[in-house]
Amino acid sequence: MIDEINSIIEKLEWEDGDEIVVEMAGTQVSGIDVGEVYNKKWQSPIGTRKYNKDAFIIISNNSRRDLTRSLPMDREHKPQHPYQPKKEVKKDAT
């Protein structure tokens, strides 16, 4: 699996000095204190991590993230279809 990850990194042209982060997603952590006596089929103690059947791995390159904020347009905003408010619908008093 490491070889596959390395081939993907090469394909994306990431470099050795890049900050590459591997994260696990699709998990859940129990946040409910169930006490000493609980139904083990449906509940789990607080802080227990479960992995969903569709859990996945995220590989991201933080060195190449663009964190610049969006800027206002340098022109007047003129949409192709101007906004027209919807007409008010009156309900029957029945």
Query: Residues 7-47: pLDDT tens digits?
Result: 988 899 999 899 999 898 998 888 888 888 888 787 888 88
Read off the pTM.
0.52
Residue 5: the pLDDT is 83
Give dist(CA 34, CA 94) in Å, integer.
49
The answer to whether residues 14 and 61 touch, using CB atoms and an 8 Å cutoff, is yes
Q: Looking at the predicted structure, is the pLDDT value of residue 59 above 70? A: yes
- pLDDT band at residue 85 using 50, 70 and 90 as cut-offs: confident
